[in-house]
Structure 1
Amino acid sequence: MHFLNTKFVTLFLVLALTGATKEKKHPLHVSTTEVNINAKEKTLEISSRIFSDDFEAILVKLYKQKTDLGNPAMKTQMDALVKRYLLSHLQIKANGKVAALNYIGFEIDHEATNIYLEAEKITPPKSVEVSSTILYDMFDDQMSIVHVVKGSTRKSTKILYPDKSFLANF
């Protein structure tokens, strides 16, 4: 009887997890942001990873433009949209001061878009605060996974909508 119950629970979970509607291609709305403190170069190296379908949907919704992150012919146009979006939805503070973020670029990696940013001339900070509202204007169940790395020390958390900030002290 226990075996039958286990099979039923497994089947139920499979159906529940794959039963996404046509509007939701995946049931989990998550982005990941990592901030690496590069003491030698005095920079913060930032990367964010967002599901490409969700990212394209929010870019279309906000900027009312054709969006195709994977189309090489649209790379310049997409760079402008990605930069505009990320710089308005991600803020990094080092020792309490807002870091000026430079957009480096983006790339498609399977079903996700990786975006790269950098802050220069940053004295290795004792604290880094990450404020992220990535996809908050699209989903009220958005989760942001944040990692801050300084040398061999890694501090991580998950931020659940509507919260938006994580402070890592070193």
Structure 2
Amino acid sequence: MKLKKAQTIAFLLSAILLLSFTAAHKFYVSVTNVVYSEKNNSFQITSRVFIDDLENVLMERYGVKTSLATPEESETANFYIEKYLKTKFLVELDGETVPYVFLGKKYENDVVVFYMEIENVDLEIVKTMVVQNEVLTDLFDEQQNIVHVKWKGNKKSFVLVRENNKGMLNL
């Protein structure tokens, strides 16, 4: 009886020790805000992505080491970031893919914030918008891309994943 009790205690202690050294599973998420500026007649876009995840996808996709947010940051980092975004983040207005300008980036702790803009948008004419966000879904199955769209007092949010990568709304 004492042996069985000792084995049970040993098992429980082993389980606790093993679980305490197991790393928590990382949460793969990005957040993108698309806001219509009536003053500028444009959609202003900010997107937040974890730096290490972006570096990993740029290395895997293009074979470049960017060293983001460090003094050794690659001079070509913005080129590859913009190239990646243009293939993974798309916006359609009334069924037509519209170009956006990549304005730049900044770093906030372990996150990179991208700034983009879709210029010359007349919401009196435009009726529908589709946002496709596949950022990092090619690297992480669990990636979730949250998109918030705000225009003329309205707000719509989407959680986009690999299998459901588009959100549509009527403007």
* Short-chain TM bin: 0.7 to 0.9
After superposition, the Cα gap between the structure-2 partners of 1:168 and 1:131, relative to the gap in structure 1 and judged at 3 Å, is same
Q: Over aligned residues, Cα RMSD in angstroms?
A: 2.1
**Ranges in structure 1 where 5+ consecutive residues have no aligned partner:** 1-11
Q: 1:90, 1:126 → 2: CA distance?
A: 20
Secondary structure, counterpart of 1:128 in structure 2:
strand
Secondary structure, counterpart of 1:48 in structure 2:
strand
After superposition, the Cα gap between the structure-2 partners of 1:72 and 1:96, relative to the gap in structure 1 and judged at 3 Å, is farther
Alpha-carbon contact 1:37-1:150 (below 8 Å) kept: yes
Q: Which amino acid aligns with 2:59?
A: V
After superposition, the Cα gap between the structure-2 partners of 1:127 and 1:39, relative to the gap in structure 1 and judged at 3 Å, is farther
Give the aligned partner of residue 136 of structure 2.
135
Percent identity of paired positions between Structure 1 and Structure 2 = 28
Q: 1:105, 1:112 → 2: CA distance?
A: 14
1:151 CA displacement: 2.7
Q: 1:98, 1:27 → 2: CA distance?
A: 33
Q: 2:26, 2:70 → 1: CA distance?
A: 26
Alignment of 1:1-170 (within 5 A): 19-20=22-23, 27-72=26-71, 74=73, 76-124=75-123, 125-170=126-171
**Ranges in structure 2 where 5+ consecutive residues have no aligned partner:** 1-15
Structure exhibiting the larger radius of gyration computed from Cα positions: 2
1:76 CA displacement: 3.5
Q: Which amino acid aligns with 1:155?
A: K
Secondary structure, counterpart of 2:52 in structure 1:
helix
Alpha-carbon contact 1:146-1:157 (below 8 Å) kept: yes
Alpha-carbon contact 1:48-1:115 (below 8 Å) kept: yes
Task: Name which of structure 1's ranges 69-78 and 136-145 shifts more when overlaid on structure 2.
Answer: 69-78
Q: 2:59, 2:137 → 1: CA distance?
A: 15
1:66 CA displacement: 1.6
